Structure 1
Amino acid sequence: MIGDSTMANKKLDGGNPERGWGHVLAGFFSEDIVVDNHAQNGRSSKSFINEGRWEKVISQVKKGDYVFIQFGHNDEKKDSTRYTVPGGSFDDNLRRFVNETRAKGGIPVLFNSIVRRNFISPDDKDMKVDARKVPGAATKPVEGNVLYDTHGAYLESPRRVAKELGVAFVDMNKITHDLVQGMGPVESKKLFMWVQPQTVPAIPQGREDNTHLNVYGARVVAKLAVQAIAKEVPALAGYVRYYDYVVAKDGSGDFFTVQEAIDAVPDFRKGVRTTILIRKGVYKEKLVVPESKINVSLIGQEGAVISNDDYADKLNRLGEKMGTSGSSTCYIYGPDFYAENITFENTAGPVGQAVACFVNGDRAYFKHCRFLGFQDTLYTYGKHSRQYYEDCYIEGTVDFIFGWSTVVFNRCTIHSKRDGYVTAPSTDQGKKYGYVFYDCKLTADEGVKNVYLSRPWRPYAQAVYIRCELGSHILPVGWNNWGKKENEKTAFYAEYQSKGPGANPQARAGFSHQLKTTKGYEISTVLAGDDGWNPVKNGNAVFEIKR
């Protein structure tokens, strides 16, 4: 991307809320698309070339790369370092960008300038240049209800060059004109850098700026831009993604923390999912998804990690031990929660109980997620919670999958870091199912040799392994009674067609079972409950991201 401040990435110091629409663009594409934004504040097409910025960009362009080009705001400025003539030098610079991009095998796309928020009629034919005003610093003309253009002929140059050279063109001015005019003079301030004094450390005096977008405005404009890009550049349409919120450490989203995004989800939003993209980064926070935040989807880009380091014996703010439940990195209470491609980790290490994820809500679904910790990594807490884990990775040492819930693990990797126990279910008496593992792979660190499949945290614990590949770290006896002989009468532990060096049906504990059939253990049956929940039906259509 090459352009001016309305497109550029911004500094984040002092909570600066200014964003160019290019800064947030990556949040609207799949990870197949990499956005490299070279737009700079204050640059025109002329100064971008003369400062050597274009030379740097074109040297990096490879065959198949797209180059998005948007200038005009500063080409209008009358100073000699930036000023260009529409129909003359401005057009020539745009032609140069296009032709040199094509010579490298790239694909140029031209954009014209976004509007200024100008609801004041011009006094003469000169272009009105927006100034950044301090609130209350001067008397300003009264705004009307009509949005007036400030760019004039500079809007036509990109359109003209695009038509002349057969290049895709996106009319950003019309897109943003319709947006701002539709919102009107009052509501449209929400898009731009109208900042009250003493509210943002980066701008202590405040600002009334009708040219530059804030976080909300950049996200709104970028979404409209992407919709137009998908239409004008069909080859990119398949990579477009729409999320309700984006979390990003680099300022390219709506929020910097996952908790801020969760807090922004409307309470009890029924009949529709709220989708949240978490861009690459380690987010150190204690995340709580409250019961009122229903139908939430967290989608992580590669390298999205939610992390913390609390543990049971660590003291809270009141000087009390946190306990196992208090140690968790993430708490999920809201029903119909979905997470994909996210790592939940507790980095406290081997210090006793230190939970990575605590799941209480019903109908929770995790896909391609990682759960990292040592003791008590994954706490399936809810007694009335059904949970489904597909193609996930879970690691730990002792009882690292534990709790009351009914849970299916499908094609997961379960990794033991030390000798210990894979699971510690506490299934309630009368519950038909506890933990069911389908086609999972149980692995271990080198040197780990003494691991049990399960021990009963409560007397009626249930765990069943179906067609699982068991490593040599699994003890021949397989199951442990937690030192209580009476647990052998009430717990239900079983396997079906276990394979691998850890599969040893003849040597298993006498109170365990070898199933002859999987009837009654179908995923749809185990998780059905009273509402027939089936998370794998129809290719998980309910969780698909809007495109």
Structure 2
Amino acid sequence: MGRSRCAPAGGEPTGGRWGTSGSASVTVSGDGFAARNLTFANLFDPAAHPEITNRQAVAVLTRADRLVFDNVRFLGRQDTLYVNTPEVTVASRAYFRKCRIDGDVDFVFGRGTAVFDRCELRSLSRGSTSSNNGYVTAASTDRAVPYGFLIRRSRLTGTAEPDTVSLGRPWHPGNDPAAAPCTVIRDSWLGAHVRASTPWSDFGTWSWRDARYAEYANTGPGAAINPDRPQLTAEEAARLTPRTWLAGADGWDPLR
């Protein structure tokens, strides 16, 4: 959809900063929005601007309920897709079907409730062969909200080097203790870029072990079962379906 209105560290006319939200190429604020067969991109190139240290560059920011993205591409680097809500304790819902999301650092993030169904989440290399090439997710789900991100029947691919990418880290905006980040990855294929032994990472002083993280029935070279990879039970997996995740009080079902 074109470039964002400014570089990530660019200033407002009043002298302030746009910040992460202000860097978005597209912001969706209307309930019931749907997009199909489109590409949304933030084309900021961090390699071309080494002088810029704050490199957030959002392609799409959502802060509305009952959203559907069908066969849509989200292209960016850091903070590509910001799934947010208008208020901290509001469970704004979004359904992503057969979408592709490219990025490197926290490129699917926010406090919204979302299902990624048969999607491709593509981790781009940051050039590191032995350390950190980024994080797929950075949920910041509020403790009062039951569900955060569900990634189901999807493929985690990318150009990042083997064993250098984390599945996620728990974002606590403003060090908010009420955040209880929630991410479940199930029935998906994980590439070799995913850290097989310890795929979840701490975020500053916030431990991933205190977040609501789980996997179930994943396959591929980046998949494993060990004490650092919490797994759903069969009973939990049967209950945590896309329909359950998105139903809410009104019974919304975008899968119909």
TM above 0.5, yes or no, is yes
Distance of aligned partners of 1:454 and 1:486 in 2 relative to their CA distance in 1, 3 Å threshold: closer
1:526 paired with 2:251, answer no
* C-alpha distance in 1 between matches for 2:38 and 2:27: 14
* C-alpha distance in 1 between matches for 2:199 and 2:91: 28
1:495 paired with 2:191, answer no
Q: What is the CA-CA distance between 1:318 and the residue it aligns to?
A: 2.4
Q: What is the CA-CA distance between 1:446 and the residue it aligns to?
A: 5.4
Matched residue, 1:333: 29
Matched residue, 1:482: 203
Deviations 1:426-469 (A, max 9, x none): 00012211100011100111536410000000241010001110
Distance of aligned partners of 1:444 and 1:486 in 2 relative to their CA distance in 1, 3 Å threshold: closer
Matched residue, 1:308: 3
Q: What is the CA-CA distance between 1:504 and the residue it aligns to?
A: 1.4
* Aligned residue type for 2:13: R
Q: How do 1:289-438 residues align onto structure 2 when only pairs under 5 Å count?
A: 306-309=1-4, 310-350=6-46, 352-382=55-85, 383-418=90-125, 419-438=133-152
Q: What is the CA-CA distance between 1:311 and the residue it aligns to?
A: 3.5
Q: How do 1:66-77 residues align onto structure 2 when only pairs under 5 Å count?
A: none
Matched residue, 2:176: none
* C-alpha distance in 2 between matches for 1:461 and 1:442: 20
* Aligned residue type for 2:82: Y
- Cα RMSD of the aligned pairs, angstroms, is 1.5
* C-alpha distance in 2 between matches for 1:498 and 1:349: 33
* C-alpha distance in 2 between matches for 1:336 and 1:321: 30
Q: How do 1:242-253 residues align onto structure 2 when only pairs under 5 Å count?
A: none
How many residues are treated as equivalent by the alignment?
228
* C-alpha distance in 2 between matches for 1:498 and 1:369: 24
Matched residue, 1:444: 158
Comparing both structures, which one devotes a greater share of its residues to helix? Answer: 1
Deviations 1:64-92 (A, max 9, x none): xxxxxxxxxxxxxxxxxxxxxxxxxxxxx
Q: Is the 8 A contact 1:452 1:475 kept in 2?
A: yes
1:515 paired with 2:251, answer no
Distance of aligned partners of 1:313 and 1:439 in 2 relative to their CA distance in 1, 3 Å threshold: same
* C-alpha distance in 1 between matches for 2:233 and 2:118: 21
Matched residue, 1:536: 255
**Higher RCO by CA contacts (8 Å cutoff, separation 6 or greater):** 2
Distance of aligned partners of 1:358 and 1:471 in 2 relative to their CA distance in 1, 3 Å threshold: same
In structure 1, stretches of 5+ residues that fail to align are 1-305, 538-547
* C-alpha distance in 2 between matches for 1:385 and 1:446: 31
* Aligned residue type for 1:536: L
Q: What is the CA-CA distance between 1:484 and the residue it aligns to?
A: 2.6
Comparing both structures, which one devotes a greater share of its residues to strand? Answer: 2
* C-alpha distance in 1 between matches for 2:164 and 2:185: 18
* C-alpha distance in 1 between matches for 2:202 and 2:144: 19
SS in 2 for 1:527: helix
Matched residue, 1:39: none
Matched residue, 2:129: none
Q: Is the 8 A contact 1:433 1:526 kept in 2?
A: yes
Point out 4+ residue stretches in structure 1 off by more than 6 angstroms.
none
Distance of aligned partners of 1:432 and 1:446 in 2 relative to their CA distance in 1, 3 Å threshold: closer
Q: What is the CA-CA distance between 1:392 and the residue it aligns to?
A: 0.1
Q: Is the 8 A contact 1:436 1:463 kept in 2?
A: yes
SS in 2 for 1:308: coil
* C-alpha distance in 2 between matches for 1:444 and 1:514: 24
In structure 2, stretches of 5+ residues that fail to align are 47-51, 126-132, 173-178
* Aligned residue type for 2:22: G
* Aligned residue type for 2:193: H
Q: Is the 8 A contact 1:464 1:494 kept in 2?
A: yes
* Aligned residue type for 1:319: G
* Aligned residue type for 2:242: I
Deviations 1:348-402 (A, max 9, x none): 1225100000001100000000000000000001143100000000010100000
* C-alpha distance in 1 between matches for 2:14 and 2:61: 22
